[in-house]
Structure 1
Protein backbone atom coordinates (compact mmCIF):
# COMPACT_ATOMS: atom_id res chain seq x y z
CA UNK A 1 0.00 0.00 0.00
CA UNK A 2 1.23 3.46 -0.82
CA UNK A 3 -0.14 6.89 -0.12
CA UNK A 4 0.88 10.47 -0.70
CA UNK A 5 -0.09 12.91 2.01
CA UNK A 6 -0.19 16.68 1.80
CA UNK A 7 1.72 18.65 4.41
CA UNK A 8 -1.58 19.50 6.11
CA UNK A 9 -2.60 15.81 6.18
CA UNK A 10 0.77 14.83 7.66
CA UNK A 11 0.41 17.41 10.44
CA UNK A 12 -3.20 16.39 11.19
CA UNK A 13 -2.29 12.69 11.21
CA UNK A 14 0.72 13.25 13.48
CA UNK A 15 -1.41 15.33 15.87
CA UNK A 16 -4.11 12.64 15.74
CA UNK A 17 -1.60 9.94 16.77
CA UNK A 18 -0.27 12.21 19.54
CA UNK A 19 -3.82 12.67 20.84
CA UNK A 20 -4.36 8.90 20.78
CA UNK A 21 -1.11 8.37 22.68
CA UNK A 22 -2.19 10.98 25.29
CA UNK A 23 -5.71 9.50 25.34
CA UNK A 24 -7.04 12.97 24.54
CA UNK A 25 -10.45 12.23 23.03
CA UNK A 26 -11.34 15.83 22.22
CA UNK A 27 -8.22 16.43 20.14
CA UNK A 28 -8.39 12.98 18.53
CA UNK A 29 -11.99 13.62 17.46
CA UNK A 30 -11.24 17.14 16.20
CA UNK A 31 -8.21 15.91 14.23
CA UNK A 32 -10.27 13.05 12.81
CA UNK A 33 -12.79 15.55 11.51
CA UNK A 34 -9.91 17.37 9.78
CA UNK A 35 -8.72 14.24 7.96
CA UNK A 36 -10.92 15.05 4.98
CA UNK A 37 -11.04 18.08 2.73
CA UNK A 38 -14.83 17.66 2.52
CA UNK A 39 -16.33 16.75 5.87
CA UNK A 40 -19.94 15.58 5.69
CA UNK A 41 -20.42 14.40 9.27
CA UNK A 42 -24.06 15.30 10.01
CA UNK A 43 -23.44 15.91 13.72
CA UNK A 44 -19.79 16.63 14.56
CA UNK A 45 -20.67 17.54 18.16
CA UNK A 46 -22.19 14.07 18.78
CA UNK A 47 -19.12 12.42 17.22
CA UNK A 48 -16.76 14.45 19.43
CA UNK A 49 -18.78 13.64 22.57
CA UNK A 50 -18.83 9.90 21.81
CA UNK A 51 -15.09 9.82 21.13
CA UNK A 52 -14.41 11.76 24.35
CA UNK A 53 -16.48 9.21 26.34
CA UNK A 54 -14.52 6.34 24.79
CA UNK A 55 -11.17 7.95 25.53
CA UNK A 56 -12.27 8.72 29.10
CA UNK A 57 -12.98 5.01 29.60
CA UNK A 58 -9.71 3.95 27.98
CA UNK A 59 -7.87 6.15 30.47
CA UNK A 60 -9.26 4.25 33.47
CA UNK A 61 -7.67 1.18 35.08
CA UNK A 62 -10.41 -0.98 33.53
CA UNK A 63 -9.94 0.69 30.15
CA UNK A 64 -6.16 0.19 30.31
CA UNK A 65 -6.86 -3.52 29.80
CA UNK A 66 -8.17 -2.72 26.30
CA UNK A 67 -5.41 -3.10 23.72
CA UNK A 68 -4.59 0.12 21.79
CA UNK A 69 -5.44 -1.60 18.49
CA UNK A 70 -8.91 -2.38 19.80
CA UNK A 71 -9.30 1.28 20.78
CA UNK A 72 -8.40 2.26 17.20
CA UNK A 73 -10.90 -0.25 15.80
CA UNK A 74 -13.59 1.19 18.06
CA UNK A 75 -12.68 4.71 16.96
CA UNK A 76 -12.95 3.70 13.30
CA UNK A 77 -16.36 2.17 14.05
CA UNK A 78 -17.42 5.54 15.51
CA UNK A 79 -16.13 7.21 12.35
CA UNK A 80 -18.30 4.86 10.26
CA UNK A 81 -21.38 5.25 12.44
CA UNK A 82 -21.17 9.08 12.45
CA UNK A 83 -20.41 9.21 8.70
CA UNK A 84 -17.13 11.04 9.24
CA UNK A 85 -15.16 11.35 6.02
CA UNK A 86 -11.48 10.42 5.95
CA UNK A 87 -9.63 11.00 2.69
CA UNK A 88 -8.45 7.81 1.00
CA UNK A 89 -4.73 8.47 1.33
CA UNK A 90 -5.04 9.20 5.04
CA UNK A 91 -7.21 6.11 5.54
CA UNK A 92 -4.56 4.02 3.75
CA UNK A 93 -1.92 5.19 6.24
CA UNK A 94 -4.21 4.47 9.20
CA UNK A 95 -5.14 0.99 7.97
CA UNK A 96 -1.52 0.17 7.14
CA UNK A 97 -0.54 1.25 10.66
CA UNK A 98 -3.18 -1.09 12.13
CA UNK A 99 -2.00 -3.97 9.92
CA UNK A 100 1.62 -3.45 11.02
CA UNK A 101 0.54 -3.24 14.66
CA UNK A 102 -1.36 -6.53 14.23
CA UNK A 103 1.77 -8.22 12.87
CA UNK A 104 3.80 -6.79 15.73
CA UNK A 105 1.29 -8.18 18.24
CA UNK A 106 1.53 -11.66 16.72
CA UNK A 107 5.33 -11.56 16.69
CA UNK A 108 5.67 -10.27 20.26
CA UNK A 109 2.40 -10.07 22.25
CA UNK A 110 4.20 -8.62 25.29
CA UNK A 111 5.58 -5.61 23.41
CA UNK A 112 3.86 -2.37 24.47
CA UNK A 113 3.34 -0.41 21.27
CA UNK A 114 1.55 2.42 23.10
CA UNK A 115 4.58 3.03 25.33
CA UNK A 116 6.84 3.16 22.27
CA UNK A 117 4.44 5.51 20.49
CA UNK A 118 4.39 7.82 23.50
CA UNK A 119 8.19 7.82 23.65
CA UNK A 120 8.58 8.57 19.96
CA UNK A 121 5.91 11.25 19.71
CA UNK A 122 6.73 13.26 22.81
CA UNK A 123 10.50 13.37 22.84
CA UNK A 124 11.31 16.49 20.86
CA UNK A 125 14.27 15.02 18.98
CA UNK A 126 12.33 11.84 18.16
CA UNK A 127 9.31 13.84 17.02
CA UNK A 128 11.48 15.94 14.69
CA UNK A 129 13.18 12.81 13.38
CA UNK A 130 9.82 11.11 12.86
CA UNK A 131 8.44 14.19 11.08
CA UNK A 132 11.53 14.31 8.87
CA UNK A 133 11.18 10.61 8.06
CA UNK A 134 7.46 10.94 7.28
CA UNK A 135 8.12 13.95 5.05
CA UNK A 136 10.94 12.09 3.28
CA UNK A 137 8.80 9.00 2.70
CA UNK A 138 5.63 10.82 1.73
CA UNK A 139 6.97 13.93 0.03
CA UNK A 140 5.01 14.97 -3.05
Structure 2
Protein backbone atom coordinates (compact mmCIF):
# COMPACT_ATOMS: atom_id res chain seq x y z
CA UNK A 1 0.00 0.00 0.00
CA UNK A 2 2.77 2.43 0.91
CA UNK A 3 5.48 1.41 -1.53
CA UNK A 4 3.26 0.79 -4.55
CA UNK A 5 0.26 3.08 -4.12
CA UNK A 6 1.67 5.78 -1.81
CA UNK A 7 -1.45 5.43 0.32
CA UNK A 8 -1.42 5.19 4.10
CA UNK A 9 -4.57 4.36 6.05
CA UNK A 10 -3.69 5.56 9.54
CA UNK A 11 -6.62 3.97 11.39
CA UNK A 12 -6.06 0.30 10.70
CA UNK A 13 -8.12 -1.91 12.97
CA UNK A 14 -10.41 -4.87 12.23
CA UNK A 15 -13.53 -2.69 12.09
CA UNK A 16 -12.07 -0.65 9.24
CA UNK A 17 -10.97 -3.49 6.98
CA UNK A 18 -13.14 -5.94 5.06
CA UNK A 19 -12.12 -8.67 2.67
CA UNK A 20 -14.49 -9.37 -0.21
CA UNK A 21 -14.23 -12.67 -2.01
CA UNK A 22 -16.31 -12.89 -5.16
CA UNK A 23 -18.45 -15.98 -5.46
CA UNK A 24 -17.83 -16.97 -9.02
CA UNK A 25 -17.90 -20.23 -10.86
CA UNK A 26 -14.55 -21.72 -11.72
CA UNK A 27 -13.60 -22.06 -15.32
CA UNK A 28 -13.91 -25.54 -16.81
CA UNK A 29 -10.25 -26.22 -16.17
CA UNK A 30 -10.36 -24.77 -12.64
CA UNK A 31 -7.41 -22.41 -13.10
CA UNK A 32 -9.08 -19.03 -12.86
CA UNK A 33 -10.30 -18.06 -9.43
CA UNK A 34 -11.18 -14.53 -8.45
CA UNK A 35 -8.80 -12.83 -6.07
CA UNK A 36 -9.99 -11.31 -2.80
CA UNK A 37 -10.31 -7.54 -2.54
CA UNK A 38 -9.36 -5.58 0.55
CA UNK A 39 -11.84 -2.83 1.37
CA UNK A 40 -10.88 0.04 3.67
CA UNK A 41 -13.55 1.82 5.64
CA UNK A 42 -13.34 5.14 7.50
CA UNK A 43 -10.62 6.65 5.37
CA UNK A 44 -10.70 9.95 7.25
CA UNK A 45 -7.20 9.27 8.55
CA UNK A 46 -5.24 8.72 5.37
CA UNK A 47 -2.19 10.37 3.91
CA UNK A 48 0.28 10.29 1.06
CA UNK A 49 3.99 10.92 1.26
CA UNK A 50 5.99 13.38 -0.80
CA UNK A 51 8.74 11.98 -3.00
CA UNK A 52 11.35 13.10 -0.44
CA UNK A 53 9.41 11.52 2.46
CA UNK A 54 9.12 8.24 0.55
CA UNK A 55 12.83 8.19 -0.27
CA UNK A 56 13.83 8.94 3.34
CA UNK A 57 11.40 6.38 4.73
CA UNK A 58 12.64 3.76 2.26
CA UNK A 59 16.23 4.44 3.40
CA UNK A 60 15.08 4.08 7.01
CA UNK A 61 13.35 0.74 6.35
CA UNK A 62 16.39 -0.51 4.42
CA UNK A 63 18.66 0.41 7.34
CA UNK A 64 16.32 -1.43 9.73
CA UNK A 65 16.24 -4.47 7.43
CA UNK A 66 20.05 -4.47 7.30
CA UNK A 67 20.21 -3.90 11.06
CA UNK A 68 22.43 -0.87 10.45
CA UNK A 69 21.90 1.33 13.50
CA UNK A 70 23.93 4.30 12.29
CA UNK A 71 22.07 4.49 8.97
CA UNK A 72 18.72 4.00 10.72
CA UNK A 73 19.48 6.90 13.08
CA UNK A 74 20.71 9.14 10.26
CA UNK A 75 17.63 8.29 8.20
CA UNK A 76 15.40 9.03 11.19
CA UNK A 77 16.97 12.47 11.55
CA UNK A 78 15.99 13.16 7.91
CA UNK A 79 12.34 12.21 8.49
CA UNK A 80 11.44 15.82 9.24
CA UNK A 81 11.85 18.94 7.17
CA UNK A 82 12.60 20.85 10.38
CA UNK A 83 14.92 18.81 12.54
CA UNK A 84 15.56 20.27 16.00
CA UNK A 85 17.22 17.33 17.74
CA UNK A 86 19.54 19.01 20.30
CA UNK A 87 22.12 16.18 20.25
CA UNK A 88 22.06 14.08 17.08
CA UNK A 89 25.35 12.39 17.99
CA UNK A 90 23.92 10.97 21.25
CA UNK A 91 20.76 9.91 19.45
CA UNK A 92 22.80 8.07 16.81
CA UNK A 93 24.96 6.36 19.45
CA UNK A 94 21.92 5.12 21.40
CA UNK A 95 20.25 3.79 18.26
CA UNK A 96 23.49 2.02 17.31
CA UNK A 97 23.61 0.37 20.76
CA UNK A 98 20.04 -0.86 20.35
CA UNK A 99 20.87 -2.40 16.98
CA UNK A 100 24.01 -4.04 18.41
CA UNK A 101 21.82 -5.69 21.05
CA UNK A 102 19.23 -6.80 18.49
CA UNK A 103 21.98 -8.53 16.50
CA UNK A 104 22.92 -10.57 19.60
CA UNK A 105 21.47 -13.99 20.39
CA UNK A 106 19.31 -12.53 23.15
CA UNK A 107 18.27 -9.53 21.06
CA UNK A 108 17.13 -11.64 18.12
CA UNK A 109 14.10 -12.68 20.19
CA UNK A 110 12.85 -9.08 20.35
CA UNK A 111 9.84 -8.62 18.06
CA UNK A 112 9.85 -6.11 15.22
CA UNK A 113 7.12 -4.09 16.96
CA UNK A 114 9.18 -3.89 20.15
CA UNK A 115 12.18 -2.76 18.13
CA UNK A 116 10.20 -0.01 16.42
CA UNK A 117 8.74 0.99 19.77
CA UNK A 118 12.26 1.25 21.23
CA UNK A 119 13.34 3.39 18.28
CA UNK A 120 10.37 5.67 18.89
CA UNK A 121 11.38 5.92 22.56
CA UNK A 122 14.83 7.11 21.41
CA UNK A 123 13.09 9.60 19.11
CA UNK A 124 10.96 10.94 21.97
CA UNK A 125 13.81 11.07 24.50
CA UNK A 126 16.12 12.93 22.11
CA UNK A 127 13.34 15.20 20.83
CA UNK A 128 13.84 14.13 17.23
CA UNK A 129 11.15 15.64 14.99
CA UNK A 130 9.12 13.35 12.75
CA UNK A 131 6.68 14.82 10.25
CA UNK A 132 3.04 13.83 10.73
CA UNK A 133 2.86 11.71 7.57
CA UNK A 134 5.88 9.72 8.71
CA UNK A 135 4.33 9.20 12.15
CA UNK A 136 1.21 7.82 10.46
CA UNK A 137 3.37 5.28 8.63
CA UNK A 138 5.18 4.28 11.83
CA UNK A 139 1.95 3.78 13.79
CA UNK A 140 0.38 1.84 10.92
CA UNK A 141 3.50 -0.34 10.70
CA UNK A 142 3.24 -1.14 14.42
CA UNK A 143 -0.43 -2.05 14.14
CA UNK A 144 0.10 -4.26 11.10
CA UNK A 145 3.09 -6.01 12.65
CA UNK A 146 0.96 -6.77 15.71
CA UNK A 147 -1.77 -8.26 13.51
CA UNK A 148 0.80 -10.30 11.65
CA UNK A 149 2.14 -11.76 14.92
CA UNK A 150 -1.36 -12.74 16.03
CA UNK A 151 -2.35 -14.25 12.68
CA UNK A 152 0.90 -16.11 12.02
CA UNK A 153 3.53 -16.02 14.80
CA UNK A 154 5.98 -17.97 12.62
CA UNK A 155 5.93 -15.39 9.82
CA UNK A 156 9.27 -13.55 9.51
CA UNK A 157 8.41 -9.94 8.79
CA UNK A 158 12.10 -8.93 8.63
CA UNK A 159 12.73 -11.47 5.87
CA UNK A 160 9.75 -10.11 3.92
CA UNK A 161 10.94 -6.54 4.45
CA UNK A 162 14.38 -7.44 3.14
CA UNK A 163 12.90 -9.23 0.12
CA UNK A 164 10.61 -6.31 -0.73
CA UNK A 165 13.17 -3.60 -0.25
CA UNK A 166 16.15 -5.15 -1.94
CA UNK A 167 14.36 -6.54 -4.96
CA UNK A 168 12.31 -3.39 -5.28
CA UNK A 169 14.99 -0.88 -6.34
CA UNK A 170 14.82 -1.38 -10.09
CA UNK A 171 11.09 -2.03 -9.98
CA UNK A 172 10.40 1.06 -7.85
CA UNK A 173 12.40 3.28 -10.17
CA UNK A 174 10.69 2.01 -13.31
CA UNK A 175 7.27 2.17 -11.63
CA UNK A 176 7.94 5.74 -10.53
CA UNK A 177 8.86 6.75 -14.08
CA UNK A 178 5.78 5.01 -15.48
CA UNK A 179 3.46 6.72 -13.00
CA UNK A 180 5.03 10.13 -13.64
CA UNK A 181 4.59 9.55 -17.37
CA UNK A 182 0.90 8.78 -16.96
CA UNK A 183 0.09 11.71 -14.68
CA UNK A 184 2.44 14.27 -16.25
CA UNK A 185 0.71 17.33 -17.73
TM-score (norm 1): 0.88
1:77 pairs with one of 108, 111, 121:
121
More strand by share: 2
Q: Which structure would you say has the larger RCO, counting Cα contacts within 8 Å and 6 or more residues apart?
A: 1
Aligned mates of 2:60, 2:153 — CA distance in 1: 24
1:52 aligned counterpart, secondary structure = helix
Aligned mates of 1:130, 1:97 — CA distance in 2: 20
Aligned mates of 1:26, 1:92 — CA distance in 2: 23
Assess if the C-alpha contact under 8 Å between 1:21 and 1:118 holds in 2. Answer: yes
CA deviation profile, 1:29-66 (whole Å, cap 9, x unmatched)? 00000000001111000000000010011111111111
| Residue 4 of structure 1, CA deviation | 1.8
| Residue 129 of structure 1, CA deviation | 3.8
CA deviation profile, 1:117-136 (whole Å, cap 9, x unmatched)? 1111112xx34445648x96
Aligned mates of 1:127, 1:70 — CA distance in 2: 27
1:110 pairs with one of 154, 159, 173:
154
What does 1:32-111 correspond to in 2, within 5 Å? 32-111=76-155
Residue matched to 2:65: 21
Listed as ranges, the gaps of 5+ residues in structure 1 are: none
Assess if the C-alpha contact under 8 Å between 1:41 and 1:84 holds in 2. Answer: yes
Assess if the C-alpha contact under 8 Å between 2:112 and 2:145 holds in 1. Answer: no
TM-score (norm 2): 0.68
Root mean square deviation of aligned Cα: 1.9
1:10 aligned counterpart, secondary structure = helix
Residue matched to 2:33: none
